[in-house]
Amino acid sequence: MKVGITGCAGRMGSLLVQELRSGAWDDKGLVFVGGTIENTEEQTFDFDVTSHADELFEKADLVIDFTGPAATRQHIWLAAKHKTALVIGTTGLTEKDEMEIADAAKETSIVYAANMSVGVNLLCALVEQAAARLGPEWDIEIFETHHKHKVDAPSGTALALGKSAAKGRGVDLKDTGVYERYGQTGARNVGDIGFSVARGGDVAGEHTTFFYGEGERLELSHRATNRSIFARGALHAASWLKGKPSGLYSMRDVLDI
């Protein structure tokens, strides 16, 4: 499977290139064919790179995309046009974007996940189970920390945890999510799912879901100490996607959890 990387000079793109070129994925049939950057004249590379995404999608069997929402909105339709399999790890996508991803997945196979790590996807499953078993009298709060360069908040992973908690309770996060608290907010509403965000330093990602009960508290946490886990997860998804029919898949499908 010939794999292309969008934004191959970026924070995650460069990690993906490094992992693919390590040779560790040869036995899974993944071969690196190049990537895209906005302006190829700014840097030189010892591998094939283009500033035209359409060219990459035509050449590759599968593309891994960890860019930004604006770029990903274009990439999903290039994948559909060329019948190129796609792994999306971009965060900050809207509900409308997710609907378009589902539409594009009618033409090709797509794995879309807010977080590609094994641990985080297991955490989402555990949060869903805990929320289903604990009554609404248990207050749910989600806390996340990321590096100072992250541009979206709450993180895609935090929102995925919120959706998992809401699913466990049989409610919609749109109706229960609380994202801001300032001033005289009044007492906490029963059933709210709250979010808190911190940004600083070089934190790869830390997420904790708190379940507050009377006289006790349950904490389910994940801490990423190296961003390479996200690259390896994406490549695992790429190898799993090989030969899959058109459709939209999640990392929980990939990991069977």
Which residue in 75, 82, 146, 222 is the catalytic one? 146
Q: Using alpha carbons only, what angle is made at residue 154 by residues 127 and 105, rounded to the nearest 5 degrees?
A: 75
Number of CB atoms found within 10 A of residue 143's CB: 19
Note if 150 is an active site residue. Answer: yes
Which residue in 2, 59, 150, 242 is the catalytic one? 150
Active site residues: 146, 150
